[in-house]
Structure 1
Amino acid sequence: MFPRTLSLLVAAACGVTSVLAEDAAPLRLPARERVETAQDSGVFREVNKTLEWDPHQTALVICDMWDKHTCPNAEERVGELAPHVNEFARAARAKGVLIIHCPSNTMDFYKDYPGRKLAQAAPPATPPVPLKKWCYVDPTLEAPLPIDDTDGGCDCARTWKKGDPYPWTRENAAIEIAEGDAITDSAEAYNLMQQRGIQNVLVCGVHLNMCVLGRPFAIRQLVGEGKHVVLIRDLTDTMYNPAQAPHVSHFAGTQLMIQHVEKYWCPSVLSTALLGGQPFRFKGDTE
């Protein structure tokens, strides 16, 4: 059994899977995860449960939803996804959830924004595990990724070359930064969560096999810090090229990554948990 699975079982036994404030209507999140049927079996079954989270102890992290990208198809999909991320953020904000915008490497653009100063003002906190600039795959915690992204994952031709400046300058403009939201791309996110008593974190954005797992404000780090983490599985994408193993469509590759996260890191939910209606689906996903 992987350590994360064991820790979740211990947490559940201790009754700490969610902490609800008496004066807050809880967020009810129909969550899905994958649990190993027997220790070290490598066989997983789908498990569904409803989480109840106090919205005032919950944050939404929006990961690297940039205005531009090195890969044209990835940029197009971010542009398609951004209005739906904004709609979810608006609904979460209205319920009292803290919105943390995390467009990495663009903090100069936001240096005078109140949300940037809010994140910077959070006092330093000592985490249970060291904060890292990037959390790589640790074979003691998870299996190898189910998709081969060693080519960079771009599924189309691109003019950007490794070593060129990154083209992004800010978060996609379709995502509103409202009063009370925070802006960061570093361990400041953890400091802010500790200052606000945030125990629960919803994560959306791109890309699931890279930044959404590896960034200092993202899934691996948050789980290591003891936060209750949930991926919004219809508000994410991958950097995956079908020319690489396992040679499935781009969107099938994304589903494989979602299952990987559900096995080794955290449950997932759909945006419909707050929005109702139908889950978001990319126009190119016809499977």
Structure 2
Amino acid sequence: MSAYPVAVITLAVATLCFATDQTADGLTLNLRKRPAAPEKGATAATEKKVNWNPKNTAIVVCDMWDHHWCKSAELRVGELGGPMNEMLKAARAKGVFVIHAPSTCTDFYKDTPQRKRARIAPFAKTPVPLATAERWGTAWNWPDGTREAVLPVDDSDMGCDCKVKCEIRAPWTRQTAAIDIADGDAITDNGQETWNLLTERGIENVILCGVHLNMCVLGRPFAIRALVKQGKTVALMRDMTDTMYNPSHPPGVSHFEGTDKVVEHVERYWCPSFASTDLTGKPAFAFKADSRAKK
């Protein structure tokens, strides 16, 4: 007969079962989406709880640069960087693969193992051809009139909401230092390299976060439109994003209400969204200047 007390054995079994259950739980996400109904106006959201295998899941961090041509946008990225870093720590702890995508800045990281990891990933053919249209020197996935309406905010002025409009330029040099790049992460701003990394790891679920939702997070070659068209299961982390929207332009709502409208557009036409709470167990992030109730 075992020399171990029954209570100790029971506790050990219970602990083992708990650990197994936690692993089996994976990523429990509350995905919110809206029907892509033809009628105009808001559509009611529905939520569905799903369970994703962390090992089959990646997070892409889009264009969280060190600087931005719009000072207001740069300040918001600075505010978002710390909470996003904490979220990424929680995601990695669960086994999620993290891809940093600071567009046009990957040369800053050219000698790092994270950048090399993306460059040497075996080539994998995409199900549909990658976008070839050029914008700011990179392939771009433009709005698709066959499946989405026009964006609900007018960003024709490029969305700077500063009192004195900023000069449009490209001051970014790297990803913000507020976000750690861990040993097992990858760095790329290339659609093919992103596809290679996902294929190499058998990743089917991709989460997008970063800036700016009405522009880069939708249009970049590694972002929402591209990945949905390639057949991946995509979700937006809606509290870990921002928009380039000037409230003096239609629809004339606050900056943060404008962001919510673009989130609803994504939920309606491209992919569901969820809040970082599902990964961190903490309240969703909200910008300090957003005077509304917390998301």
TM-score by length of 2: 0.86
- The equivalent of 1:40 in structure 2 is 38
Cα displacement string for residues 61-83 of structure 1 (whole angstroms, at most 9, x for unaligned residues): 00000000000000000000001
Q: Radius of gyration: which is bigger?
A: 2
Match of 1:153 among 148, 159, 166: 159
1:245 aligns with 2:266: no
Amino acid at match of 2:181: I
1:95 aligns with 2:94: yes
- The equivalent of 1:6 in structure 2 is none
- The equivalent of 2:147 in structure 1 is 141
- 1:117-266 to structure 2, matched below 5 A, reads 117-132=116-131, 133-157=139-163, 161-162=167-168, 164=169, 166-187=170-191, 188-266=193-271
Match of 2:288 among 279, 283, 286: 283
> Would you say how many aligned residue pairs link Structure 1 and Structure 2?
262
Cα displacement string for residues 208-258 of structure 1 (whole angstroms, at most 9, x for unaligned residues): 000000001100001001100110000000000001100110000000000
Deviation at 1:159, TM superposition (A): 7.2
**Counterpart of 1:100 in 2: which secondary structure?**
strand
Question: Contact (CA 8 Å) 2:234, 2:272: kept in 1 or not?
Answer: yes
5+ long unaligned stretches in structure 1: 1-22
Question: Contact (CA 8 Å) 1:24, 1:55: kept in 2 or not?
Answer: no
**d(CA) in 2 for partners of 1:240, 1:147:** 7
**d(CA) in 1 for partners of 2:39, 2:291:** 33
Deviation at 1:51, TM superposition (A): 1.5
- The equivalent of 2:50 in structure 1 is 51
Deviation at 1:160, TM superposition (A): 5.1
Question: Contact (CA 8 Å) 1:29, 1:52: kept in 2 or not?
Answer: yes
Question: Contact (CA 8 Å) 1:145, 1:209: kept in 2 or not?
Answer: yes
- The equivalent of 1:268 in structure 2 is 273
**Counterpart of 1:108 in 2: which secondary structure?**
helix
Deviation at 1:147, TM superposition (A): 0.1
**Counterpart of 1:278 in 2: which secondary structure?**
coil
Alpha-carbon distance change, 277 to 158 in structure 1, aligned in 2, over 3 angstroms:
same
- The equivalent of 1:29 in structure 2 is 29
**Counterpart of 2:82 in 1: which secondary structure?**
helix
Amino acid at match of 1:277: K
Question: Contact (CA 8 Å) 2:205, 2:232: kept in 1 or not?
Answer: yes
Deviation at 1:280, TM superposition (A): 0.4
Question: Contact (CA 8 Å) 2:25, 2:51: kept in 1 or not?
Answer: no
Question: Contact (CA 8 Å) 1:116, 1:183: kept in 2 or not?
Answer: yes
Deviation at 1:275, TM superposition (A): 0.9
Deviation at 1:277, TM superposition (A): 2.3
**d(CA) in 2 for partners of 1:88, 1:270:** 11
Amino acid at match of 1:153: G
Question: Contact (CA 8 Å) 2:26, 2:94: kept in 1 or not?
Answer: no
Question: Contact (CA 8 Å) 1:71, 1:158: kept in 2 or not?
Answer: no
Aligned sequence identity (%): 56
**Counterpart of 1:30 in 2: which secondary structure?**
strand
Amino acid at match of 1:228: T
Deviation at 1:24, TM superposition (A): 4.9
- Tell me how large the CA RMSD over aligned residues is: 1.6
Cα displacement string for residues 102-127 of structure 1 (whole angstroms, at most 9, x for unaligned residues): 00010110001110000001112111
- The equivalent of 2:59 in structure 1 is 60
Deviation at 1:151, TM superposition (A): 0.2
**d(CA) in 2 for partners of 1:262, 1:210:** 15
Amino acid at match of 2:186: A
**Counterpart of 2:208 in 1: which secondary structure?**
strand
**Counterpart of 1:247 in 2: which secondary structure?**
coil
Deviation at 1:259, TM superposition (A): 0.3
**d(CA) in 2 for partners of 1:190, 1:202:** 14
5+ long unaligned stretches in structure 2: 1-22, 132-138
TM-score by length of 1: 0.88
Moved over 2 A (4+): 39-45, 157-162
**d(CA) in 1 for partners of 2:234, 2:155:** 24
